[in-house]
Amino acid sequence: MLNQFGIEDKRVRLDWVSASEGDRFAAIVNEMTEQLRELGPLGLSRGNGGAHG
Amino acid sequence: MTKRVTIDPITRLEGHGKIEIFLNDAGGVDNAYLQIPELRGFEKFAEGRLAEDMPQITQRICGVCPEAHHMAATKALDDLFHAEPPSAARKLRELFYSAFYVTDHTTHFYILGGPDFVMGPDAPVAERNILGVIAKVGLELGKAVINTRMKNHRIIQMLGGRAVHPVFGLPGGISKGLNEEERKEVEQTAKDAVEFAKLSLKVFDDIVLKNKAYVDMILSDAYTHRTYYMGMVDDKNKVNFYDGKVRVVDPDGKEFVKYSPREYLEHVAEHVEPWTYIKFPYLKKIGWKGFVDGKDSGLFRSTPLSRLNAADGMATPLAQEAYEKFYSTLGGKPVHQTLATHWARLVELLYAAERLLELSQDPEITSPDIRTIPTAKPDEGIGIVEAPRGTLTHHYITDERGVIKKANLIVATVNNAAPINMSIKKAAMEMIKPGKEITEGLLNRIEMAWRPYDPCFGCATHTLPGQAPMEVIIRDSKGEVVKRLTQNL
Amino acid sequence: MAKLKLALYWAASCGGCEIAQLQIGEKLLKLAEVADIVFWPVAIDVKYKDVEAMPDKSIDVCLFNGGIRTSEQEHLAKLLREKSKVLIAYGACAYVGGIPGLANLFDKQSIFERVYLETQSTDNPNKVTPQTKHQVTEGELTIPELYDTVKSLPQTVPVEYIIPGCPPEEKTTWMALEALIEGKLPPVGAVISHNAKAVCDDCQRKRDVKKVKKFYRTYEITTDPQICLLEQGLLCAGLATRGGCGAPCPQANMPCTGCYGPAQGVTDQGAHFLSAVASVIDSSDKNEIQKIVDDIPDPVGTFYRYSLPDSLLRRARIK
């Protein structure tokens, strides 16, 4: 459904991390942050009622 | 000094419909424009939706005649999924559609378009509304108007699930049938509707036709355009609202073309203007020649009058009698006088009521066999019905899962967009003459020019008082208001 | 008691709300006894400037239907907010954007291209599209600007109450009007309907927590009239949708499509509908679940039929 919204697969990730896997947790978060930084902002507010519609 | 006249008949606060009339230096009419200032883009956002959702999605184009969109879309689905509905389903759809016509034509004649006609254009403004009509025709008939609308809406709800925005249309059939108890109710409603329609024609006869001044007005040049006429006909060329072929006659009344839904793109095209959101359909083989009438211009009209002109008669006996009287009184076919549309609407009301009665007595009508489950892959489908306000075409192209790839809609009122422009201009030219004082008569005459079309973008379909509130502002070339005329404010 | 000053306005809508308001029939007369209608473009001609000239808060109650799509509709929403003590979003379009809100999957440019250039019947060799200002021989003609995004009324200005439905059922409209007439208004923010629970609570069909292996399209099956449609594999929005309508669609053997908006306490109707659907899937196998879900080719149009502008994402991203 998110594809219909124009949202890339890379923006969404589901992972299971146990409380004991601190390093893995940090790595996943870093990976995800980096990926999102590359993709840039969603820009969904475009045209939301502004004068430039 | 250049002047312009802005009429906002539809009100909606400079929204949804505005008329601009430009005057020349001498004070005569230069040109008139009817602007539609909104677009919702159904043809785009239908893409990606499921085909079977189209009857419910597209009917949100219009909450006044959702039944027409629901039905055109449902028929397009039959074609798209290659699923022929069982005979009982076809009959039930037509029964539903006939009940819809009874309510819609009744509303227009008595509450919206009729009052200024029944009361006459020169009656005091205060009397030209439904209450004035009731005072003139009697309280009994007034009650019958309310009853007819209510009972036929009940049929719409019975089959369609809801009174506004029905849900029962499916490719190859419908989701709900009638039981015997419901059938009896429909039959009684239909009998009453036939009597009501007969009475309505009698009222028209007594009040309008027996008054020479009215008949002269109907026949006057100010309200006449020689155009092509479009309407759906059955295999005997009789008027049909639900199914058949679209027939077009030329301004001389000769058949120009008769096409099946699948062929519509060969015959109808739409023109775009930069000053309005509405498009202007015309006959493709003749071409767009601008806002002009006559045999060389591709403009056609699609109204109750057009349907009568485009057919050879009515399929039910009483309506056929009324049809014959219509043409013998108005001097033969075709009738070009726009105001005669009101009368044509009553002829159709009688047909819809008679057809409703026939269908309610059909032995097959309570059959539970109302679905054909589609088995073929969907690809492309076109559905056409006659909406009360004109021929309505829905065209869908899907992928093999039935997801819409392309949708094209030619909506009933849109057919008449260019002719309404012309009618307004002609009426304005008739009323606004150099050196002649602009009076309230201008407002009445211009309103009478667009009323017969019952345009859906205007509140012809919504306005309660039976007469559009209007304001005409005349400005000089600097934009200063030099005259302001109002009615019903 | 002084008569109530009532205003009614329509923005991006179909006119069905007006028909719904008229459906209250003879009760309209009762309304006329207690209220003066000071503004109703369908019936009374009051201009922009007349509304602008009204003192702030001089309208007691304004029923506003339709979404916000053009510069003009936005202006009117703001104006009527200033002039009204109580502003009510009437119907699905004003409440959550409505079906025209599905246009938020596209933008103005692609809509224009489709409608004015591409449609099969359009003949437009010069690629003309409507312009907000256009010079004709005789002078200048103007039309309002169309926005990329359809918004609901509460996204544009604060509102006091909501009357849901597409259109609201007659009884829902009357329930609200009766509360107004009797001065028994609910707490601010309330959605007015007969049932705060979901449509399923109105529905007569039996539910027995049956799970499904396959979702069907409405045309693919004939349903049992006694049993819950979702449990028969139809994507019925009943669970995610506010009740009070009386469940007329399931009674006509068709699934609820969600026109009364999110059920009480639900923020995003589509997400709620999606999770309701997920909960009836009878499988824990990843591949099988994927196969079952693949039978839903248009999730946005199915789950957010009326409420895309009101969803958390509000619109699709146009790259």
d(CA B280, CA B415) in angstroms, rounded, equals 7
Q: Residue B338 pLDDT > 80, yes or no?
A: yes
B12 or B376, which is more confident?
A: B376
pLDDT of residue B452: 80
pTM of the model: 0.91
Q: Which of C45, C119, C128 sits opposite B408 (nearest CB)?
A: C119
Residue C209 C-alpha, separation from nearest chain B C-alpha, in angstroms: 24
What residue type is assigned to position A26 of the chain? A
Q: Which of A1, A4, A49 sits opposite C149 (nearest CB)?
A: A49
Cβ B168–C252 below 8 Å, yes or no?
A: yes
pLDDT of residue B12: 27
H helix or E strand, kind and range, residue C136? strand C133-136
Question: What value does the mean pLDDT of chain B take?
Answer: 86
Q: ω before C154 within 30° of 0 (cis)?
A: no
Mean pLDDT on B253-274: 96
B67-76, B151-160, C18-27: the lowest-pLDDT one: C18-27
Model confidence pLDDT, tens digit, residues C152-199: 999 999 999 999 999 999 899 999 988 988 888 899 999 999 998 999
pLDDT of residue B467: 39
d(CA B69, CA B61) in angstroms, rounded, equals 8
C182 or C234, which is more confident?
A: C234
Mean pLDDT on B200-218: 87
Q: Residue C137 pLDDT > 50, yes or no?
A: yes
pLDDT category at B132 given cuts 50, 70, 90 is low
Model confidence pLDDT, tens digit, residues C34-68: 888 777 765 554 556 678 888 999 999 999 999 99
B112-126, B442-456, C173-187, C200-214: the lowest-pLDDT one: B112-126
All partners of chain A with 3 or more CB pairs under 8 angstroms: C
Cβ C151–A7 below 8 Å, yes or no?
A: no
pLDDT of residue B399: 97
ipTM associated with this complex = 0.94
Q: Which of C148, C300, C318 sits opposite A4 (nearest CB)?
A: C300
C303–chain A Cβ distance below 8 A for any pair: yes
pLDDT of residue A10: 83
Contacts of C130 (CB under 8 A, 6+ apart): B39, B272, B273, B274, B275, B276, B277, C112, C116, C143
B57-66, B212-221, B462-471: the lowest-pLDDT one: B462-471
Contact B50, C301 (CB under 8 A): yes
Residue B194 C-alpha, separation from nearest chain C C-alpha, in angstroms: 23
pLDDT of residue B131: 62
pLDDT category at C245 given cuts 50, 70, 90 is very high
Cβ C145–A53 below 8 Å, yes or no?
A: yes
Residue C3 C-alpha, separation from nearest chain B C-alpha, in angstroms: 20
Cβ C111–B44 below 8 Å, yes or no?
A: yes
Shortest CA distance from C17: residue in chain B: B63
Using a CB-CB distance cutoff of 8 angstroms, which residues of chain B are in contact with residue C302? 50, 53
Mean pLDDT on B74-93: 98
B179–chain C Cβ distance below 8 A for any pair: no
A52 or B473, which is more confident?
A: B473
B110 or A53, which is more confident?
A: B110
pLDDT of residue C205: 97
Q: Residue C76 pLDDT > 50, yes or no?
A: yes
pLDDT category at C146 given cuts 50, 70, 90 is confident
Residue C210 C-alpha, separation from nearest chain B C-alpha, in angstroms: 23
Residue with tokens 């094209």: B408
pLDDT of residue B3: 63
Q: Residue B356 pLDDT > 90, yes or no?
A: yes
Q: Residue B463 pLDDT > 60, yes or no?
A: no
Model confidence pLDDT, tens digit, residues B234-244: 999 999 999 99
C139 or B331, which is more confident?
A: B331
Mean pLDDT on B427-446: 73
B38 or B191, which is more confident?
A: B191
